[in-house]
Amino acid sequence: MRRLFEAFHSAGKELFLVGGAVRDLAMGGSEVDLDDLDFTTNCLPDETLAILQGNGFRTYEMGIEFGTVGAVLSGPPSGGFPKDVQVTTYRSGEYYRRGSRHPTVSFGDTLAQDLRRRDFSINSIAMDIDGNWVDPYGGLRDIEAGVLRVVGDAHETLAEDPLRILRVGRFMAKLGFVPTAELEQAAYDCATHILDISRERWHQELDKLLVAPHVAAAMDFLARVRLLNVIMPELTALIDLHERSPVGSTPVDWWAQTLALIEAAGRDRTVSWAAMMVHTGRPWVRSFEGLQPPPPGPVAAGLGSARHAVAASAGVAVNYDRHAKMAGEFARGLARRFHMDHKLATAIEFTVLNQELALSYGSAMTDADVRHLYRRMEGYHAELIGLATALRKVGSHEPGASVEELVELQARIADLDARGELVPRLPGGLGNLLMAELAVPRGPMLGELLAWLTEEIMAGGVGSALDPEVYLNYLMERSPPVLERARQVVGPSRRGGPGTGRH
């Protein structure tokens, strides 16, 4: 990094480290741990490119039309290298056109102008070549106090880029900071402006927010300022649902449990998104057993505002039949709304739909049982076990596996996989052998024979990936019903199986 500073100073130009890297250093972080490094300079983009290339830095020009030139700092891995660097010309202004992912920028002339147009005081600090802070807006003081405060007028700052409301939540989740009252009020007033921002940018911010350590406080903030009303109304339907009931307060505060569940999900992106959606189906399927007359649908869903006496709930059971299926529908819609890629969208939806699958595990299960459970998980075993573990940690009421048993399930899956016994594998050429020796034609009957052998491997009756002759002999010895049906269709063969009779 020193060499980069010196390259610009030798050319008679200014260069300052800015943004998150400076904030992290001010909070006691190590230079080794810094990843993306943002610098600002009084050079125009073409000048920046010439200085970098003239001093042997590898560059890339993505973003140069917005004033940014990228480069890579090389060095020993022990120092955290290689590191990505972005060098941007001083800006005096920046705003996003409706629905755009790219800013419209105005270049500035001074560092003061550049720091002034940044969002929060904690991000409006710069560092010079000698490691000195430039802090005209009290960012260091706010870091010490754990406060999020905008530079300038809060309403104007959020109106300029409404995504900053989500960024308030992200910094709350990451740092544990608290917004000022002025900032929270401005976020409330500007919440609907988030509709002017591209859905990809929503997704980028929430991806980071959901895996941060203080996510519960951040999500509660987004609910208070109405932002969740706009981008995820499925979630806000959970707030105070347990009190909006015709039978008085019901036992579980589903909003509080959702917040705890997201935090318990840890840093797995898919599990965190799924944890957020797990309970969203409950308001819409809620019913009351033993309550006469039954409440109309909107009242059952908690759409009324009345809060009823707890004593009135005696003898009434609350049901949430098929809530996971409903939540899966919401998860599919959420993926479209946030423009998620197909892989992530499919993983979230499957995990939400099958949220209790891993809880069906028990230590008494045989290896064959574990193989069948794994197959039902369709490749999402890590996500399903992660979600089930989070459900257990927050004290969910679903019956089934304990946290210890879920750890055991993960270990057993890994052990079976290491031994090559997790997924049944039939050897190449087995189909041709069955056709030749049993005179079975290619088609559904051959498929049934192969499927039967696969199930036998799953059940532990025969090993996996053995010689084709082993499976042929096993089939003949066991003479399953599928083989008997084949005999009736094609007649006997020289092996005593199907032959060349009727086709």
Long-range contacts (CB closer than 8 Å, 24 or more residues apart) made by 140-143: 140/26, 143/23, 143/26, 143/27
Going by pLDDT thresholds of 50, 70 and 90, the confidence category of residue 485 is confident
pLDDT at 250: 86
Q: Is 224 part of any domain? A: yes
For the segment 137-141, the average pLDDT, to the nearest whole number, is 97
Band (310; pLDDT cuts 50, 70, 90):
very low
Q: Are residues 398 and 455 in the same domain?
A: no
pLDDT score for 436: 87
- Which residue would you say has higher pLDDT here, 433 or 100? 433
Higher pLDDT, 111 or 100: 111
Give yes or no: residues 471 and 411 share one domain: no
Is the model's pLDDT at 486 over the cut of 90? no
Closest CA to 214 of 140, 118, 146, 282: 146
Question: Which range (66-80, 95-109, 260-274, 297-311) has the least confidence?
Answer: 95-109
Asked whether residue 194 is domain-assigned, the answer is yes
Q: Which of 191, 215, 231 is the last residue of a domain?
A: 231
Query: Do residues 97 and 75 lie in contact, with contact meaning Cβ atoms separated by under 8 Å?
Result: no
User: Between β-strands 287-289 and 317-319, what pairing exists: parallel, antiparallel or unpaired?
Assistant: antiparallel
Q: How high is the pLDDT of residue 500?
A: 44
The model's pLDDT over 85-105, given as tens digits with 9 standing for 90+, comes to: 999 999 875 555 554 445 566
Task: Identify which of 168, 158, 115 has the alpha carbon closest to the alpha carbon of residue 137.
Answer: 115
Domain membership flag for residue 124: yes
- What pLDDT does 378 receive? 95
Task: Enter the DSSP assignment of 382.
Answer: H
pLDDT tens digit sequence for 5-27 = 999 999 999 999 999 999 999 99
Convert the pLDDT of each residue in 153-193 to its tens digit: 999 999 989 999 999 999 999 999 999 999 999 999 999 99
For residue 472, count other CB atoms closer than 10 A to its CB: 20
In this structure, the answer to whether residues 223 and 103 fall within a common structural domain is no
Q: What distance in Å separates the CA atoms of residue 491 and residue 85, rounded to the nearest whole number? A: 73
> Above pLDDT 70, what percent of the chain?
92
- 88 and 166 within one domain: no
Task: Give yes or no for residue 239 having a pLDDT over 90.
Answer: yes
Give me the pLDDT at residue 308, please.
56
Mean pLDDT calculated for residue range 371-393: 96
Are 116 and 65 contained in the same domain?
yes
**Residues 374 and 463 grouped into a single domain:** no
List the end-to-end C-alpha distance of the chain, in Å, as a whole number.
77
pLDDT > 90? residue 1: no
Residue 332 lies in a domain: no
Let me know whether 446 and 456 are in one domain: yes
* 495: in domain: no
Residue ending a domain, choose from 117, 145, 173: 145
Cα-trace Rg, the chain: 30
d(CA 79, CA 309): 63
Task: Round to whole Å and give the CA distance between 437 and 38.
Answer: 69
The Cβ of residue 400 has, within 10 Å, a number of other Cβ atoms equal to: 17
For residue 459, give every residue at least 6 positions away whose Cβ sits within 8 Å of its Cβ, in sequence order, or none.
Answer: 368
Tokens of 195: 């509709």
Please indicate, yes or no, if residue 331 is contained in any of the structural domains. no
Q: Which residue has the higher pLDDT, 487 or 395?
A: 395
One domain, residues 456 and 471: yes
**Do residue 166 and residue 124 come from a single domain?**
no
- Distance (Å, rounded) from C-alpha 250 to C-alpha 304? 15
Give the span between the Cα atoms of 241 and 323, in whole angstroms.
14
| Same domain, residue pair 101 and 193 | no
- Running DSSP on this structure, what letter comes out for residue 492? B
Reply yes or no on whether the pLDDT at 108 is more than 60. Answer: yes
- DSSP, collapsed to helix, strand or coil, labels residue 267 as coil
pLDDT at 498: 60
- The pLDDT of 362-366, averaged and rounded, is 95
Q: How many residues does the chain have?
A: 503
Q: Is the pLDDT of residue 503 over 80?
A: no
Q: Any idea what the Cα angle at residue 188 is, between residues 186 and 194, rounded to 5°?
A: 95
Checking if the pLDDT of 396 tops 90, the result is no
CATH number at residue 17: 3.30.460.10
Residue 481 within a domain = yes
Phi, psi of 130 (to 5 degrees): -95, 5
Domain total of the chain: 4
Let me know if residue 276 belongs to a domain: no
Given a cut of 70, whether residue 210 has pLDDT beyond it is yes
Average pLDDT, the chain: 90
Cα–Cα distances in angstroms (integers) from residue 430 to residues 197, 394, 454, in the given order:
56, 49, 12
Domain boundary among the residues 145, 172, 189 is at: 145
My answer on whether 188 and 152 are in the same domain is yes
At residue 313, the pLDDT reads 61
Residues 9 and 124 grouped into a single domain: yes
Q: Which CATH number is 188's domain given?
A: 1.10.110.30
pLDDT exceeds 70 at position 328? yes
Domain that holds residue 221: 147-231
